[in-house]
Amino acid sequence: MANLKVELVKSLNGRHEKHIATANSMGLRKIGDTSVQPDNDQTRGKIAKIGYLLQVTEEK
């Protein structure tokens, strides 16, 4: 199964509480934080919600 490398590239300051909670659930707390997430529907939904804050690359 493929993985996705997710990096927080924009600040969480002033964002909606649910967007901050979504980023925190992915292990992203401050700009430059990265995490590797499984490529599944749950992760895709999180990325769709806060994609404007993230940079996503596919990892093999």
The answer to whether residue 1 scores a pLDDT higher than 80 is no
- The predicted-structure confidence for 28-47, as pLDDT tens digits, reads as follows 999 999 999 999 999 999 99
Written as one string, the DSSP assignment of 1-60 is --EEEEEE-S--TT--HHHHHHHHHTT--STT-EEEEE-SHHHHHHHHHHGGGEEEEEE-
Top-tier CATH class for 3-59: alpha beta
Tell me what pLDDT residue 49 has: 98
Tell me the pTM: 0.92
